[in-house]
Structure 1
Amino acid sequence: MRVFPSKPLILLVVTVMISLHAYAAEASDPDPIQDFCIPNPKFGFIRTEHLTILPCKNSSEATTDDFVFSGVKSPGNFTETGFATIPVSPSVFPGLNTLGMSFVRADLKSGAINPPHFHPRATEIAYVVKGSVYSGFVDSGNRLFARVIEEGEVMVFPKGLVHFQMNVGDESATIFCSLNSQNPGLQKIPSAIFGSGINEELLEKAFGMSHKQIGTMRRRFDPKKV
């Protein structure tokens, strides 16, 4: 005699499958439903809970220029620490919209660093165009994966993991980074800890630092304290 699952059990299984599918969909950029979507500046953008929607203009109005970007030919503006970035997203490169990707040009003067940070919504691939860069990430088990990568080499940083870079050469280094989200997000660890307003007593206990030391770090990483 064959036993068939009860209707409540079937309904439960279907509900769980739908929930898992929805969770997976929210965890990454949605797949495009057309060849491309060039944002229409007339309509601005629409914010939802999980993403920003840029309404498309008619595909017949798209031009080759929408799919070419020339803004990474030269370095961006260097900070006092010798680090410069040019982030490229659909807001400056319309052809990227809905394609689930973005990229960055980063330049580091000798000794400069890209401090520990992570992207909550994207995996990153970094290609060294010029120079020697100490590069790495830390996994959820606190294991460090790091080495010096040279011109022509590539390193991948898994989604959501803390990673960093430092120019260990005598000349400036240039890196091109590609991310698999058009809105990867960026959270710099020092700023998140000392520049976000976390209770001072908690920070003192967490890091074994004095009130004076915490104050110094807060003035350095919290723009409101400068």
Structure 2
Amino acid sequence: MSEKPMPEDLPAEDDEARLSRRRVIGTGAALGGAALGGALAATAGGAARAEHGSATPASDASAKLDTEAHLFRLTSAEPNRYDGGTLRGAHEGTFPVLTGQQASVYYVELEIGGLREPHWHPTAWELNYIISGTADWTILGTHPDGTYRNDAFEAKQGDLVFVPQGFFHYFANSSTEQPLQVLVVFNTSAQEPNDDIGIVATVNSLPREILAAAFGVPVAAFGAVPTEVKPVVITKRT
């Protein structure tokens, strides 16, 4: 039997032969790795399908979407009409998807000379966006220094006005040529009358003699104050 040649007995490889051999080995390793990776991926995919089931077709996924209506055509809604303008609201009573979401939206349109009764909201702040026209605003609230701060200003198209929760405020159409359109957003799902206390309601919540003492005038001075309390008042300047 012939003896197996020892490494030192093998013919020497030149540089080109060694390079060729390394290429063959590297290619084989790469192909083997790719095959192994593919096998592992297939195995993992099969396990995932076995555990979670097949992918849900798009049509089936669509059928599982919330069936609640998510669209409310605010400006097309039937408005509440007042002497000085109109009010349309998207709240839990008209737009059920808002129930429990702490959000409601109103579209207010004030005619020339129209104004929103001075009022305040005990449990909600509001953010007002001026869609068109100009508005006179007054916002009254206490501040850390213990004094009252009364902000009076004019807001124009494209402006935002924020009224903190509980601050007394009003706005009016300051234009003599065009209506005022305002989008009002509240952090409450309830309709506005449920969180709206107007100045007429405030005055009528107190006995006339208390009002007279607070204002330093005779009780008779409040004889002409109306006693009818309305939930929302949009009226005109007299």
State the distance in 2 between where 1:100 and 1:206 align: 37
Partner SS, residue 152 of structure 1: coil
| Off by >6 Å, runs of 4+ in structure 1 | none
Is the Cα contact below 8 Å between 2:135 and 2:154 reproduced in 1? yes
What is residue 67 of structure 2 aligned with on the other side? Answer: 63
Runs of at least 5 residues in structure 1 that lack an aligned partner in the other structure: 1-58
User: Of 176, 185, 188, which residue of structure 1 is paired with 2:183?
Assistant: 176
Q: Return closer, same or farther for 1:62/1:154 CA change in 2, 3 Å cut-off.
A: same
Partner SS, residue 210 of structure 2: helix
Partner SS, residue 67 of structure 1: coil
State the distance in 1 between where 2:78 and 2:172 align: 17
State the distance in 1 between where 2:225 and 2:80 align: 24
Larger Rg: 2
State the distance in 2 between where 1:210 and 1:218 align: 17
Is the Cα contact below 8 Å between 1:83 and 1:114 reproduced in 2? no
What is residue 203 of structure 1 aligned with on the other side? Answer: 211
What is residue 47 of structure 1 aligned with on the other side? Answer: none
User: Of 191, 205, 213, which residue of structure 1 is paired with 2:201?
Assistant: 191
What is residue 33 of structure 1 aligned with on the other side? Answer: none
Matches within 5 A, 1:28-39: none
Runs of at least 5 residues in structure 2 that lack an aligned partner in the other structure: 1-62, 231-238
Identity rate, percent: 21
Is the Cα contact below 8 Å between 1:124 and 1:179 reproduced in 2? yes
What is residue 151 of structure 2 aligned with on the other side? Answer: 145
Structure with more relative contact order (C-alpha pairs < 8 Å, separation 6 or more): 2
What is residue 111 of structure 1 aligned with on the other side? Answer: 113
Is the Cα contact below 8 Å between 1:75 and 1:105 reproduced in 2? no
Output the TM-score relative to the length of structure 2.
0.61
Is the Cα contact below 8 Å between 2:127 and 2:185 reproduced in 1? yes
Output the TM-score relative to the length of structure 1.
0.63
User: Of 161, 167, 192, which residue of structure 1 is paired with 2:167?
Assistant: 161
As a proportion of its length, which structure holds more helix?
Answer: 2
Q: For structure 1, which segment, 87-96 or 70-79, has the greater mean C-alpha deviation from structure 2 after superposition? A: 70-79
State the distance in 2 between where 1:75 and 1:91 align: 13
Aligned length: 160
Instruction: State the Cα deviation string for residues 118-142 of structure 1 (Å, max 9, x = none).
Output: 1111111000111000123112132
Deviation at 1:204, TM superposition (A): 1.4
Instruction: State the Cα deviation string for residues 79-134 of structure 1 (Å, max 9, x = none).
Output: 22x13222321111011112111111111111211121111111110001110001
Q: Return closer, same or farther for 1:90/1:202 CA change in 2, 3 Å cut-off.
A: same
Deviation at 1:217, TM superposition (A): 0.3
One-letter code of the match for 1:63? T
One-letter code of the match for 2:79? G
